[in-house]
Structure 1
Amino acid sequence: MAKYNYQWTKVLVGACTVCAVLALFLLGLARMWCQSESDEEPSFTVDSEEISGTQSVPVIQFELWKKKKFARLPKTFWQSHLTGDAFWNKHQAVIDYHFNPLLSHHDGNIELDSPFYESLLPQSFSEVSGFVGTMQLPEMLQDFVSSMHRRDYSTLIQPNGLCGAGATDEKEAPLLLLAIKSTDLNFENRQAIRETWGQAGWVSGQNSKRKGSGGYVRRIFLMASNGQPPSSELLAESTLYGDILQWDFKDTFFNLSLKDVLLWKWFSRYCSRTRFVFKGDDDVFVNTVKMITYLRDQLQRPQAEKRMKTFMVGYVIGGTSPIRDDSSKYFIPDNFYTGVYPAYPCGGGFLYSGVLAKRLYQVSKRVHLFPIDDAYIGMCMIRLNIFPIHHPAFLIYGFPGKDEEAQCSYHTMLMIHKRSPSEMPDLWAHLRKTEEECWDAPLRNVYIAQHL
């Protein structure tokens, strides 16, 4: 009997050993896959800080991993075990499956320009068949869902220059592309931008006597068509200024994320030499001189070229949940999406590098469009395992308290939201008038700005 038990013990030990080896092997594969997806960059976490005791402003607290490389990807906010039967989550899970080497039939190293990508988005709709018909969604969201998988929209109006309106005699690559979201009816906004902070061509930096303090600026307005041919007024405007880029899709709030994707695609083709992109709304005011100086300073920092792979800065919000109030234009019902939003820059206006723009275009091929464009930026960023950086000089909600009353207040910011076309000329004239007096005014919260 003892001999019989001993033999069975040997069998069980052998079987357990095989299982343990197999488990370690699979774990090793998973770690290798995750490491191939990771960037050798700092890890950032989102927190909030009380400013002036009245406003909770999100900031990024950052800390380096102890090792130069790290294998862990942040947990995806749309993992199936967290999301239930939400429409967007289920469809994204189909895409994610194809990039899991332990579940799918390939090793996860598919080239991003492979035809395989072109079929994935519509494929997810066929694999989650019948789900849409049983789901109750608001009309605008239903309209979004009907074309959520499409990216193949034709271009109705192209800008005159290869990379937007700018100087014809550029002696170096453009430093900055101003990419402004607009609509057909907002001519006054576009004209105010053209005549003030959005002037294309050479822009001197804050210290114009310092070599390399300025840069060439290009300008473009991003528009859609609402299913109609371009109006005669818009065609005349395009002929005169050469800064309109219009696509053939509906110009709705939920399609703003589509503008981002098509901008990245267009930028990758026509603007590959441009160093930075400022993407903003047509109701923002930008201190272009200060922005040019700030960007030049970024290029002078140690390991600047490496940092450009991940550079995105703006007013960052992190860890927020979708708005469930159906009276809000940001309303997202829980049967469409569950989970939290990753850290994202507020869409009023933010900066990112040209290198990152091309990376965002590639990764967007594996992330379904989302009806809130700010959140979609965060989704694509986290898929690259990077986070946008908060900078207090991006004033999405205006100056706090009485800060705006200071003589040099507009010299301490990079961008401010919600300024009308009638206000922009006065603000621009004020910047020019006080330029000498405020030449050394630092950006808001200079300590944070210097340590990003």
Structure 2
Amino acid sequence: MARRCCRLRNILICVCTPCCCLTALSIYAIVTISLQVNSMMLGHVPRVSSNLASPHFVAAGASSNGSNPSVPKTFWERHLRSDALWNRLQRHVDRHFNPIVRKEKSDTLLERSSFDESLLPQSYFEVTGMDSVRENFERLPKQVEEFASNMHKRNYSILIRPDGECGAQSKQEKEPPLILFAIKSTALNFRNRQVIRQTWGRVGWVEGQRINSSDGDMGGGYIRRVFLLGKETPEDLGVDISHLLRAESKRHGDILQWDFKDTFFNLTLKDVLFWRWFSRHCGKPLFVLKGDDDVFINTPKLISYLQDQLEEHRSRNTLHEFMVGEVIGSALPNRVSRSKYFIPEGFYRGLYPMYAGGGGVVYSGELARRLHNISKTIHLFPIDDVYVGMCMIRLNAHPVHHPAFRTFDFTEKEEAQPCSYHTILLVHRRSPREVVDLWANLKDTREQCQDVPLRAVEKKKQRATPPPSV
């Protein structure tokens, strides 16, 4: 009897042990996969460059105490229960890049040469079709609700296009243009555009200028130009000026206008549609300067600076991620309702990514094409320079801060120096009259200030408060 019991016990062990092991393994696999899927549903986490000493980073000029505040790897609120509209829309898109669901790795997917343009509209209608989301729509401020109601739209027809394939250009171009000036303007800002054409934005060959006393050959480069406009209706303006805009385009050949309402929140559309147009029509320009029509640019020094950058980044094979400007880090959404930068918590939660101030920024033509591609995976955001930062972080690229880009102006003491405008590449918010005077002064003082270097990165503690634009 004892022998029979022993034999029965051995049989039970042989049968049950594999079953128990298989059950335990199945439970482990289910828990592991569930955790990974849940993590990916919270949003794709962009890779952090390995050359960063730590996950903490802040742009020069943005810290209040010189310390490095912690910035999360994702720039939006990752909590699954967040009901902010933009966050929900973006999470829905991010699931498309879940490596558990898709066989390809998410990083590989995000570097694809082409994305399906139906991805964003599809996610938009699926999310906004939910009852809870429709209720949140009604609680948004009017201007934010109007933006949110149209943020899935990107297919706007071109009303006016430049004469040249890629903006106004010199007929005598003998080499690829160094820079395309892509300037955001509005229909009524004719004086701004005309002054730019006559001063720093002239097309054709422009000679460079030494950016420090040790420079040798100053060289030069070809310039092209295009103005980016939306549409303003006679009802908005009180008068129909479309015929004047067409006449201006016929004379100068540098207007690119789309059929969307020209508002502050739609400045992001100008970026996205410009990248599409550039990718299709501009194979030659090496760099793009995207700026507002009230900036002043030291074009000769910008040319010399970009020639140096071209050589350096080509040697390091990093031209495809080159962007430079006045960089803002660790910025928070503006929650002041009376501000034009106001973003309510019902629309977006989280920090902003590192981004270059939208008043004026330079990036390579290669990067412009990559931005066009990656923008097909990121829902529009009302603040244009923040949106560019979102696209950059998805490309695992970071804008470079340079103090010669003064998108938030000089101090009075700095501007009073006789050679102050020879130390910068760009300064923001100058009237047409000021631009004319500054351009003339730049020429008059060129010999006097020829050895004055560009502003360098400050070694001391940076300025006390973040820029007011956020």
TM tier relative to shorter chain = 0.7 to 0.9
Aligned to 2:402: 391
Of 18-27 and 203-212, deviating more is: 18-27
Shift of 1:78: 2.8
- Per-residue deviation at 1:42? 4.0
How far the C-alpha of 1:236 sits from its partner, in A, is 0.9
Match of 1:98 in 2: 96
Q: Indicate the residue corresponding to 1:162 in structure 2.
A: 165
- 3-state DSSP class of the match of 1:249? strand
The superposition leaves residues 64-107 of structure 1 with CA deviations (integer Å, 9 ceiling, x where unpaired) of xxxxxxxxxx7322354266000111111111111112135876
SS in 1 for 2:276: helix
Which structure ranks higher in relative contact order (CA pairs < 8 Å, sequence separation ≥ 6)?
2
Q: Give the superposition deviation at 1:47.
A: 2.3
Work out the CA distance in 1 between the residues paired with 2:19 and 2:372: 54
Query: SS where residue 261 of structure 2 aligns?
Result: coil
Question: Could you tell me how far apart the structure 2 residues matched to 1:35 and 1:145 are?
Answer: 22
Deviation of the 1:126 alpha carbon: 2.5
1:177-201, Cα deviation, whole Å (9 max, x unpaired)? 1111000011111111111111111
Structure ID, larger Rg: 2
Equivalent of 2:431, from 413, 420, 423? 420
Match of 1:118 in 2: 117
Q: Would you say the 8 A contact 2:207–2:219 is kept in 1?
A: yes
**Closer/same/farther in 2, CA of residues 25 and 217 from structure 1, 3 Å limit:** same
Pair 1:326 & 2:326 matched: no
- Measured against aligned partners, the alpha-carbon deviations of 1:34-73 in whole angstroms (never above 9, x if no partner) come to 999859774485326579xxx9599999xxxxxxxxxxxx
User: Which stretch of structure 1 is more off in the superposition, 20-29 or 264-273?
Assistant: 20-29
Paired amino acid for 2:85: F
CA deviation string 1:330-368 (max 9, x = no partner): 111101110111001111101111000000000000000
For residues 371 and 40 of structure 1, do their structure 2 counterparts lie closer, same or farther at Cα, with a shift above 3 Å needed?
closer
Task: Give 3-state SS (helix, strand or coil) of 1:435's partner.
Answer: coil
Partner of 2:223: 217
CA shift in 2, pair 1:337/1:21, >3 Å: closer
* CA positional deviation for 1:240: 0.9
In 1, Cα distance between equivalents of 2:113 and 2:253: 32
Cα 1:45–1:283 change in 2 (3 A) is farther
Aligned equivalents of 1:45 and 1:107: distance in 2? 26
1:279 aligns with 2:279: no
- Kept in 2, the 8 Å contact 1:58–1:390? The answer is no
State how far apart, in whole Å, the 1-side matches of 2:49 and 2:347 are. Answer: 34
* Residues 46 and 73, structure 2, Cα contact 8 Å, conserved in 1: no
Task: Tell me which residue corresponds to 2:135.
Answer: 134
Superposed CA deviations along residues 371-394 of structure 1, whole A, max 9, x for unmatched, are: 111110111111111111111111
Structure 2 CA distance for partners of 1:385 and 1:284, relative to 1, 3 Å? same
Correspondence for 2:455 among 435, 444, 447: 444
Moved more, 225-234 or 418-427: 225-234
Q: How far, CA to CA, are the matches of 1:230 and 1:341 in structure 2?
A: 38
Q: Tell me how large the CA RMSD over aligned residues is.
A: 3.5
| 1:301 alignment partner, SS class | helix
* CA positional deviation for 1:15: 4.7
Mapped contact 1:47–1:318 kept (Cα < 8 A): yes
Matched with 1:195 is: 198
Which letter does structure 2 place at the counterpart of 1:127?
A: E
CA distance in 2, matches of 1:57, 1:443: 26
- Match status 1:405 vs 2:403: no
8 Å contact kept, 1:39–1:384:
no
- 2:269 corresponds in structure 1 to 258
TM-score norm. by structure 2 comes to 0.82
| CA distance in structure 2 between the aligned counterparts of 1:46 and 1:418, rounded to whole angstroms | 28
The residue aligned with 1:241 is: 252
Deviations 1:190-241, CA, capped at 9 Å, x for gaps: 1111111111111111159965721101011100113568711111111111
Match of 1:86 among 81, 84, 87: 84
Residue 447 of structure 1 and its aligned partner are, at CA, apart by 7.6
How many angstroms apart in 1 are the aligned matches of 2:443 and 2:58? 36
Q: Give the match for residue 226 of structure 1.
A: 232
Residue type matched to 1:199 in 2? Answer: R
- Residue in 1 aligned with 2:467? none
Is the CA contact 1:202–1:217 (under 8 Å) kept in the aligned structure 2?
Answer: yes
CA 1:319–1:138 in 2, change beyond 3 Å: closer, same or farther? same
> 1:426 is paired with a residue of what secondary structure?
helix
What is the aligned length? 429
Residues 301/325 of structure 1: CA separation in 2 closer, same or farther (3 Å cut): same
Equivalent of residue 77 in structure 1, options 72, 75, 78: 75
**How far apart, CA to CA, are the structure 1 residues paired with 2:295 and 2:369?**
25
Correspondence for 2:463: none
Comparing 87-96 and 220-229, the one that deviates more = 220-229
Compared CA separation, residues 386 and 26, structure 1 to 2 (3 A): farther
Unaligned regions of 5+ residues in structure 1, if any?
A: 62-73
Structure-2 separation of matches of 1:131 and 1:215: 55
Cα deviation per residue 1:89-145 (whole Å; 9 max; x = unaligned)? 11111111111121358765665535xx22211211222113443121111111111
Distance 2:60 2:105 in 1: 43
Distance 1:343 1:36 in 2: 15
Taking the aligned partners of 2:365 and 2:371, their CA distance within structure 1 comes to 10
Match of 1:149 in 2: 152
Match of 2:356 among 330, 345, 350: 345
Rounded to whole Å, the distance in 1 between the matches of 2:447 and 2:24 is 77
Instruction: Please say if 1:182 is aligned against 2:185.
Output: yes
Given that residues 80 and 90 in structure 1 are in contact (C-alpha distance below 8 angstroms), is that contact kept between their aligned partners in structure 2? no
SS of structure 2 residue aligned to 1:362: helix
* 2:464 corresponds to: none
Write the distance in 2 (CA, Å) between the matches of 1:83 and 1:386. Answer: 29
1:312 and 1:352 in contact (8 A); partners too: yes
Q: How far apart, in 2, do the equivalents of 1:196 and 1:26 lie?
A: 61
Residues 343-382 of structure 1 correspond to what in structure 2 (within 5 A)? 343-382=354-393
